[in-house]
Amino acid sequence: MSVTILAIESSCDETSAAVCTDGKILSNFIANQSVHEKYGGVVPELASRAHAQNIVPVVDTALSSANCSLPSVDAIAFTQAPGLIGSLLVGAQFAKSLSLALNKPLIAVHHMQAHVLANLIADPKPSFPFLCLTVSGGHTQIVICESPTQLRVIGETIDDAAGEAFDKSAKLLGLPYPGGPLIDKYAKEGNPDRFQFPEPRIPGLDFSFSGLKTSILYFLQNAGTSLVYKEEFRASEQERYQFIQENLNDICASIQQRIVTILLHKLRKAAQETGIRDICLAGGVSANSGLRKAFEEMGKQQGWRTFIPAFQYCTDNAAMIAITGYYKYQAGQFAGLDIEASARAEW
């Protein structure tokens, strides 16, 4: 019997709905919220309000572009955690109401599990167990995926996420939010070996990005003359501005290269320690062209089979919630109507 899932994602600032039948994505519609741009980051209350406004038309569009009617939906999947609580509540309440009105089962999805399973949307798919480096604005994790419903985090950031490292670096350079894609753009024209930012020495498979942010701050305060704080070198506002203007491409390329090497050195270590050869990327930062290229190159050197979801399934989207919903449906993992959205969630 064929199974159709309607999925809703509203964990941060994208309202998205998708329809999938038997694991095949029929539609995936995303409404971005431009309202946050002028604030330099996502404003939680504005995000919740925008979700409340967007959710009906977004679900409607996803259904109609999949040529699907509500009665033919077999289950409703939604992002239950983690994320901004006000944003999650909008999607959760909407999904619960639909489930109640249609008398169809409800499936609660963990956003980070869904990022990993985005790698199961297209063919060829990785074989189990596979490793996944999930890099987003809120998380940086290395996960072992034993099956679609058995995932284990074996390494994660102890401070900032990789996406935050990109966005905070961009902010220091005076670039608008979210700065990750802009660093990617300028880095394409720059020399990544021009400036040497330090690689942190963190034991095991965990990551840290806060030291990088501090060294970039000092580097800019000293207009490129030093990575450590030195009062005597402190450049004026004008000197700093001019230094950034004249060297933006090289600075972006050097920052991006360091973030990428921090990520890939730990991923290589994880692959060596586990012996796993099917390796995936996931999350918004996997849209980064430098990371994608270096990941593919490392894969060739190390003899991995590498997988990266299509661009539209890397950043937040409901297709990944739909595919996870589909596997949870197969495993009989349903939620009660009393389930609550949660800002934080352990695996």
Cβ burial, residue 139 (10 Å; 0-12/13-18/19+):
buried
Q: Which two tokens stand for residue 275?
A: 């012996």
- According to CB under 6 A, which one of 315, 319, 324, 325 is a site residue for ligand KG4? 315
- According to CB under 5 A, which one of 166, 306, 316, 328 is a site residue for Zn ion? 316
- Say whether residue 309 binds ligand KG4 (CB under 6 A): no
| Residue 178 binding target from Zn ion, ligand KG4, none, CB below 5 to 8 Å by type | ligand KG4
| Contacting range for ligand KG4; rule: CB under 6 A; set: 98-106, 212-220, 283-291, 329-337 | 283-291
- Say whether residue 119 binds ligand KG4 (CB under 6 A): no
Q: What CA–CA distances, in Å, run from 13 to 36, 84, 88, 92, 303?
A: 9, 9, 10, 15, 38
- Say whether residue 184 binds Zn ion (CB under 5 A): no
How many Å is the maximal CA-CA distance in the chain?
73
| Contacting range for ligand KG4; rule: CB under 6 A; set: 205-213, 214-222, 279-287, 329-337 | 279-287
- Say whether residue 143 binds ligand KG4 (CB under 6 A): no
- According to CB under 6 A, which one of 288, 309, 320, 341 is a site residue for ligand KG4? 288
Least Å distance, CB 137 to ligand KG4, is 3
Which x/- pattern, by CB under 6 A, does the window 148-167 give for ligand KG4? ---------------x--xx
Binding residue count for ligand KG4, defined by CB under 6 A: 18
Determine the residue with CB nearest ligand KG4. 284
Q: Which residue has the tokens 């270590």?
A: 269
- Rg, Å, the chain Cα set: 21
Least Å distance, CB 71 to Zn ion, is 31
Cβ atoms 165, 157 nearer than 8 A: no
Judged by beta carbon, residue 98 or residue 267, the one nearer ligand KG4 is 267
Judged by beta carbon, residue 105 or residue 290, the one nearer ligand KG4 is 290
Judged by beta carbon, residue 250 or residue 316, the one nearer Zn ion is 316
Determine the residue with CB nearest Zn ion. 136
Q: Which two tokens stand for residue 49?
A: 């309000």
In the region spanning residues 206 to 235, those forming contacts with Zn ion, defined by CB under 5 A, are none
* Distance from C-alpha of 298 to C-alpha of 11, rounded to nearest angstrom: 32
* Distance from C-alpha of 290 to C-alpha of 308, rounded to nearest angstrom: 13
- According to CB under 6 A, which one of 138, 148, 192, 309 is a site residue for ligand KG4? 138
- Say whether residue 80 binds Zn ion (CB under 5 A): no
Cβ atoms 121, 132 nearer than 8 A: no
- Say whether residue 140 binds Zn ion (CB under 5 A): no
| Contacting range for ligand KG4; rule: CB under 6 A; set: 35-43, 72-80, 98-106, 132-140 | 132-140
Cβ burial, residue 171 (10 Å; 0-12/13-18/19+):
middle
Q: What CA–CA distances, in Å, run from 134 to 9, 53, 109, 234, 271?
A: 17, 30, 16, 37, 14
Judged by beta carbon, residue 4 or residue 315, the one nearer ligand KG4 is 315
Q: What CA–CA distances, in Å, run from 75 to 20, 30, 103, 106?
A: 10, 20, 9, 6
Helix ranges (H only) for the chain are: 44-65, 85-102, 111-117, 162-172, 180-187, 210-221, 237-274, 289-302, 319-330
- According to CB under 5 A, which one of 136, 221, 288, 306 is a site residue for Zn ion? 136
Q: Which two tokens stand for residue 210?
A: 């806060």
Q: What is the distance between the terminal CA atoms of the chain, rounded to a whole angstrom?
A: 30
Interface contacts to Zn ion, rule CB under 5 A: 136, 316
- State the residues that interact with ligand KG4 by CB under 6 A: 12, 136-138, 163, 166-167, 178, 180-181, 184, 283-285, 287-288, 315-316
